[in-house]
Structure 1
Amino acid sequence: MEIRREDEIQDIPSPMQITTKNIPSEVNIQIETCDANRTSPLPIFLKFEDVEYKVKNKQGSTKNNPLKAVISRVGSQGRMEQDSYKKILKGITGRVGPGEILALMGASGSGKTTLLKVIGGRLLENVKGNITYNDISYTTALKRRIGFVTQDDVLFPQLTVEETLLVSAFLRLPNSMNRQQKYERVNMIVKELGLERCRNTKIGGNFGKGISGGERKRTSIGYEVLIDPSLLLLDEPTSGLDSNSANKLLLVLKGLAKAGRTIITTIHQPSSRMFHMFDKLLLISEGYPVYYGKAKESMEYFSSLRFTPQISMNPAEFLLDLATGQVGDISLPDDLSASRGSLDTGKSIIKYLQVKYKTQLEVQERTKNEAATAPEHLQQAVQVGKDWTISWWEQFRIVAKRTFKERSKDYFDKLRLLQAVGVALLLGLLWWKSKIDTEPQLRDQIGLLFYICIFWTSSSIFGAVYVFPFEKLYLVKEQKADMYRLSVYYVSSTLCDMIAHVLYPTLFMLILYFMVDFKRTVSCFLLTLFAILLVAVTSQGAGELFGAAVLSIRRAGMVASLILMLFLLTGGYYVQHIPKFMRWMKYLSFMYYGFRLLLKVQYSGDQSYECQSTQGCKTLQSSASFDTVSLNSGLQEVWILLVMILAYRLCAYFCLYKRISQSNI
């Protein structure tokens, strides 16, 4: 089937025109009364059949176990797979359509979140089975029709609720809407989700006060609902909320479903009132389905199997007890009653429920799945890829503004300012009015130049190495939703961070330069400052590369420390005459080139010193300190550092692209 662009399809009715007997009547009513600025979502009929998912089982690996390797080789192919992989999902079938809410229930670790990620296209490898959206398999064209609300609310803490929603609106809403219409859409979402009271309050987080947990969850939902997704997936949306907040949230989801959306949510242990708000229920036990059907009919189904509660119980509590084999207050069928109290009771019950599901429910669901087909125009419409809503430059402007606002507290931190000013004053007092009249005085001043390199290299590397690991969750979430190009984020992050990497070294040198009596000429001061900025900006690029390569806060600091030590030792101050077999290392060190550049800027080869000695004046080039540096050989180090700045950033970008694309968060 040919896939065509959205503006090329003339014969596909718009979602406003779609009416079908499979969509509940309340959905059509909602579509007709929809706001003029709000397009109705494209209806999506989701079906999943025999879905399996497995992960690599490191403990079962035979790589370092020769005995297990021999057993695996002589065993069957199935046994080898069992030893190497662990199955998380073990053949799950079901379907859900527009206007319906499907609840995924089960104990922790049963596979609810994994199934949600598989349906949302976030897990594509090691997946078996058939998942279709309007009878079409998953394609990248679906990415912007799926909203995914994670269990942990991934929101920037320094932005307000309104700013968070506005960023999403400007980046994701179609370019056909002007700014005023996008503002109106945000206002509508704020009112629908009951966020008027906190719209100008910062999100907050672990290091600052902000909105409540319920408001945070509703903001996360609004962030996704803003673009009218056809399929809305939520992972434990009521986690951490009180009963009242959770009920309000479910009412919001019920209203969103009535607008024509297909909604799937994982839920752990809802209240009785919440349980009856769900249209369908999928109960999972150890990766196997044990019930799929209408939520209100679940108790009747298990009663038909002669599982009945002996005390008054919340339906959700009853179902979870069955899914985990905890049947202390539940009467059992006669053929299971004899095993009550034994160690294998729980396993026997779970196995019994799995078998009953296979024989009684799964066959019916397969038949219904085969019979249910989406209209042809919906099959075509779901394949239509959406272009970027705005241009690269507009994306950059929005993301850069958000990045600056989010990080401005770090850029203009009082401690950071105190560090730059304090170290400059301390060095200025220690090297007060330094001279180069003698060899010891010259060595002292050269030591100061090298320390300046060390200080700004370490500050810039450690200021940049944690950026991507800290923002990994935000970046993965927004890239999975195709909010903006990765290059937009990277350029915005680099340029915004460069403010601090330029501002503080400049302030530092304005204080220190004249205290230590370096060459007092405008050109020499500007060249020295330029050299320091080159070192700082190159170090920033190196830090970004290390951070992007590991994307781990703990490992990023370790890698940066090791590389910094390597660059420090090969910088040309501690060891000038490096052995030949190790000499290649210094050519990878930007500290080596930065230090040489500072020496060439501050000193000239024909400059005299030691004039009061018995041998008479000597030139600086004759000093042992410059054995490996030709002071009058030009400033080619500038071009080398500029190439390094570009090379580090290109490598950092491609590392970030690879790591983010492979992430399964």
Structure 2
Amino acid sequence: MDKKQRTEDLESSDALQGPNSGSYEIQPVLKSRGTIVSLSWEEISYTVKTHHGSNEILKRVSGYANPGELLVIMGSSGSGKTSLLSILSNQIIPHRSVKISGTVKVNGDDIKNYDYPSITRYVMQQDILQATMTAREALWFAAMLKVGSDKNLVKSRVDTMLHDLKLAKVADNLIGNEMIKGLSGGEKKRVNIGVELISEPSILILDEPTSGLDCFTAEVVIKLLKKQAHKGRTIITTVHQPSSTMFEMFDRLILMVNGHFVYQGLARNSRLYFDNLGYVCDEYTNPPDHFMRILSIVDRNNMSDSEKDKLENLLISYKAQEKMIYDETITENLTVLNKSMRHYVPGLFIEMRALMWRSYVNSLRNPLLFFVKLSQALIMGFLIDILFRDLGYGQQQVENRKGILYFTTIQFIMLGSNSNSMTFPLERPLFLKDYKEGLYGTTAFVLSKTIAELPTQIFFTFLYVVIQYFAIDLNIESAKQFFVFLALSILSHWTGCGYGNFAGVISPNVVASTVIGPAVAAPLMMFGGFFSNSGSLSNSFYWIKYISSYTYTFEGFCLNEFRDLPIDKGLDPLGDLGYTGEVWERAGCMLLIELCLTLLIIGILKFVGEKHKNN
């Protein structure tokens, strides 16, 4: 962490401590600004069926979280922490391989009786954010889909969140990633939390919000959560290896091992509890580290006798005092919930507007997408000018024209295909996160992405055509030929982006898309009409030409180029190629291909998104 960043985080940290700047304690005064809700769960079991049998991850655990308190769940790897959070946030959908039993309640009533997303939000461990957006824009986008389209309300929520999360100084900085310099890890984490807090939920559940952060930055995040709790929210989080300073900020603590609870109560009492069981923590040892050593199990599927005895003793002690745990439950001053309340669900128009704005921002600021297309347009355009300047009208020149037209076909389709096949997998995690949360549907996502990218596609296509067309003396008998050529070029580039999106959506990552993309393009290119006459294609594979945009682009280029061109007598390039009909017919076929690709991509994304929901 650089000196400037550490200073800014220190200012954020001090701002949370209040007047008692020497202490990390925030005065436990409940400052309610909304709905006050408690969360409880009873006899929660979670079993997953695998090829090796059933794996019981959670074993009839019960507990609660009070409003105004920070509840932290800790445990060794595989203890069931994340699974419990997923169930409490209603993120897991039971199916034939997943069995969930027990009840989760808000204010003593089953969550099934309420629109749960209007009460609870879940923050994932990974900071999945759009790298090309600023912190303010990320919060604005979330507010548009979670709060409403009223600009004044959205602005108010965003400004409040930037202030509360101490992000005002970096509000207009790009979030960034490995390629784009942007926010620090702690700032990204706060943006990620803000994206969920923007809807002002009563319950906020977080999975490892301090993961990957240094000790100082992790403490800043915990202080922010502590402050949110004292506004009346119910905060539940898992934390891995907290420092002693962080531990002092915890209100309540749950310790888990092998799907069981072995401690639940005030965090400040946990050390004495284990001391009384004979697991004494000396004054120089961080209590959380001490607890993790106690709860450590090498192989939970093959425990040693000593581990079994230790776990049995811990469970017996926990069961003996479990009833007393609920004496600390807050039951007064809770809000009477309205069962008819619903969280904000944007319509298709609002989804499209928000997504088009995000896609447009991404296409403008994405260096990979922008510079690849710009360099290709400039370099290839000038290279064609140098090699084929001032074509004539004889036999050799006609053949050269055919070659140039097919090379241009390949150029436009591959330009769109290559760039989109690489960028689409990068957007997959963000889409899956938003889809699981129900922010928008697949139709709005695909259509908005397609429409938002059109301006840059038209710009780069126009740039390439202007550089090439007049320099190599293509058909200039009338202005019509130029504009038809430009329109066909834009359509071919558009369908190329469709092929790229298809390759990207079926690819798990960028590396796979670089293999799948050419594998899809090769047969389509071979049956494009240049390498063999359309009437000489094998009957077994003849159908490929009908799904190839290369075919219709090349045919359209040739019909536009060679009709009315003053070529030498006796030459019939269209007859040699076997092309008849009109240019608009080829344009219509290209539009149909783009429509089919769009519907196919929507269907695949729908399948992938629903599958991700069940994981």
**TM-score of Structure 1 vs Structure 2, range by shorter chain:** 0.7 to 0.9
Instruction: Tell me the TM-score normalised to structure 1 length.
Output: 0.79
Tell me if structure 2 keeps the 8 A contact 1:47–1:96: no
Structure 1, residues 347-372: CA drift from partner, whole Å, max 9, x if none? 34432343234434347648978998
Q: What is the letter of the counterpart of residue 133 of structure 2?
A: L
Q: Does 1:142 align with 2:101?
A: no
In structure 2, the CA distance between the partners of 1:308 and 1:382, relative to structure 1 (3 Å rule), is farther
What's 1:215 paired with? 187
Task: Tell me whether 150-159 or 562-571 shows the greater mean CA deviation.
Answer: 150-159
The SS at the match of 2:77 is: coil
The SS at the match of 1:159 is: coil
Query: 1:609 Cα deviation (Å)?
Result: 4.9
In structure 2, the CA distance between the partners of 1:620 and 1:553, relative to structure 1 (3 Å rule), is closer
What's 1:162 paired with? 136
Summarize the alignment of residues 113-132 of structure 1 with structure 2, pairs less than 5 Å apart: 113-125=82-94, 126-132=98-104
Tell me if structure 2 keeps the 8 A contact 1:98–1:261: yes
Tell me if structure 1 keeps the 8 A contact 2:185–2:213: yes
Q: Does 1:282 align with 2:251?
A: no
Q: Does 1:433 align with 2:390?
A: yes
Tell me if structure 1 keeps the 8 A contact 2:409–2:553: yes
In structure 2, the CA distance between the partners of 1:451 and 1:206, relative to structure 1 (3 Å rule), is same
Query: 1:579 Cα deviation (Å)?
Result: 1.4
Q: What is the letter of the counterpart of residue 605 of structure 2?
A: L
Summarize the alignment of residues 260-339 of structure 1 with structure 2, pairs less than 5 Å apart: 260-309=232-281, 312-325=284-297
Tell me if structure 2 keeps the 8 A contact 1:168–1:223: yes
What's 1:645 paired with? 594
Provide the C-alpha distance between the structure 2 equivalents of 1:228 and 1:581, rounded to a whole number of angstroms.
60
In structure 2, the CA distance between the partners of 1:499 and 1:346, relative to structure 1 (3 Å rule), is same
Provide the C-alpha distance between the structure 1 equivalents of 2:371 and 2:425, rounded to a whole number of angstroms.
24
What's 1:492 paired with? 448
| One of 72, 76, 81 as aligned partner of 1:112 | 81
Provide the C-alpha distance between the structure 2 equivalents of 1:208 and 1:264, rounded to a whole number of angstroms.
32
Tell me if structure 2 keeps the 8 A contact 1:48–1:130: yes
Provide the C-alpha distance between the structure 2 equivalents of 1:149 and 1:555, rounded to a whole number of angstroms.
29
Q: What is the letter of the counterpart of residue 601 of structure 1?
A: N
Q: What is the letter of the counterpart of residue 68 of structure 2?
A: G
Structure 1, residues 528-585: CA drift from partner, whole Å, max 9, x if none? 1111211111121222223223343232222211010111111111133121122122
Query: 1:621 Cα deviation (Å)?
Result: 4.4
The SS at the match of 2:44 is: strand
Q: Does 1:238 align with 2:238?
A: no
Provide the C-alpha distance between the structure 2 equivalents of 1:362 and 1:542, rounded to a whole number of angstroms.
60
Tell me if structure 1 keeps the 8 A contact 2:458–2:490: yes
Q: What is the letter of the counterpart of residue 601 of structure 2?
A: A
Tell me if structure 2 keeps the 8 A contact 1:142–1:382: no
| One of 502, 523, 539 as aligned partner of 2:496 | 539
Provide the C-alpha distance between the structure 1 equivalents of 2:392 and 2:118, rounded to a whole number of angstroms.
65
Task: Tell me whether 365-374 or 246-255 shows the greater mean CA deviation.
Answer: 365-374
Q: Does 1:192 align with 2:142?
A: no
Structure 1, residues 493-521: CA drift from partner, whole Å, max 9, x if none? 11122222221111111111112211102
Instruction: Tell me the TM-score normalised to structure 2 length.
Output: 0.85
What's 1:333 paired with? none
Query: 1:300 Cα deviation (Å)?
Result: 3.0
Provide the C-alpha distance between the structure 2 equivalents of 1:410 and 1:142, rounded to a whole number of angstroms.
36
| One of 194, 202, 219 as aligned partner of 1:247 | 219
What's 1:30 paired with? 31
Q: Does 1:448 align with 2:404?
A: yes
In structure 2, the CA distance between the partners of 1:353 and 1:140, relative to structure 1 (3 Å rule), is farther
Query: 1:173 Cα deviation (Å)?
Result: 2.0
Provide the C-alpha distance between the structure 2 equivalents of 1:645 and 1:94, rounded to a whole number of angstroms.
53
Provide the C-alpha distance between the structure 2 equivalents of 1:640 and 1:551, rounded to a whole number of angstroms.
30
Provide the C-alpha distance between the structure 2 equivalents of 1:98 and 1:107, rounded to a whole number of angstroms.
26
In structure 2, the CA distance between the partners of 1:156 and 1:609, relative to structure 1 (3 Å rule), is closer
Q: What is the letter of the counterpart of residue 30 of structure 1?
A: K
Tell me if structure 2 keeps the 8 A contact 1:142–1:383: no
Q: Does 1:589 align with 2:589?
A: no
In structure 2, the CA distance between the partners of 1:371 and 1:282, relative to structure 1 (3 Å rule), is closer
Tell me if structure 1 keeps the 8 A contact 2:255–2:263: yes
What's 2:72 paired with? 103
Tell me if structure 2 keeps the 8 A contact 1:290–1:357: yes
In structure 2, the CA distance between the partners of 1:481 and 1:500, relative to structure 1 (3 Å rule), is same
Provide the C-alpha distance between the structure 1 equivalents of 2:306 and 2:574, rounded to a whole number of angstroms.
88
Query: 1:322 Cα deviation (Å)?
Result: 0.7
Query: 1:97 Cα deviation (Å)?
Result: 2.8
C-alpha RMSD over aligned residues = 3.2
Task: Tell me whether 364-373 or 655-664 shows the greater mean CA deviation.
Answer: 364-373
What's 2:43 paired with? 49
In structure 2, the CA distance between the partners of 1:409 and 1:325, relative to structure 1 (3 Å rule), is closer
What's 2:63 paired with? 94
| One of 170, 182, 206 as aligned partner of 2:178 | 206
In structure 2, the CA distance between the partners of 1:567 and 1:179, relative to structure 1 (3 Å rule), is same
Q: What is the letter of the counterpart of residue 232 of structure 1?
A: L
Query: 1:415 Cα deviation (Å)?
Result: 5.1
The SS at the match of 1:592 is: helix
Query: 1:270 Cα deviation (Å)?
Result: 1.2
* Bigger CA radius of gyration: 1
Q: Does 1:350 align with 2:319?
A: no
What's 1:66 paired with? none
Q: What is the letter of the counterpart of residue 148 of structure 1?
A: Y
Structure 1, residues 1-39: CA drift from partner, whole Å, max 9, x if none? xxxxxxxxxxxxxxxxxxxxxxxxx999512xx4xxxxx
Tell me if structure 1 keeps the 8 A contact 2:36–2:67: no
Q: Does 1:422 align with 2:379?
A: yes
Provide the C-alpha distance between the structure 2 equivalents of 1:239 and 1:537, rounded to a whole number of angstroms.
41
Provide the C-alpha distance between the structure 2 equivalents of 1:42 and 1:379, rounded to a whole number of angstroms.
9
Provide the C-alpha distance between the structure 2 equivalents of 1:395 and 1:345, rounded to a whole number of angstroms.
50
In structure 2, the CA distance between the partners of 1:515 and 1:162, relative to structure 1 (3 Å rule), is same
Tell me if structure 2 keeps the 8 A contact 1:172–1:227: yes
Provide the C-alpha distance between the structure 1 equivalents of 2:511 and 2:583, rounded to a whole number of angstroms.
41
Query: 1:454 Cα deviation (Å)?
Result: 1.0
Structure 1, residues 450-481: CA drift from partner, whole Å, max 9, x if none? 11111111111122223332112222232333
Query: 1:376 Cα deviation (Å)?
Result: 14
Q: Does 1:510 align with 2:479?
A: no
Query: 1:620 Cα deviation (Å)?
Result: 3.7
Tell me if structure 2 keeps the 8 A contact 1:435–1:445: no
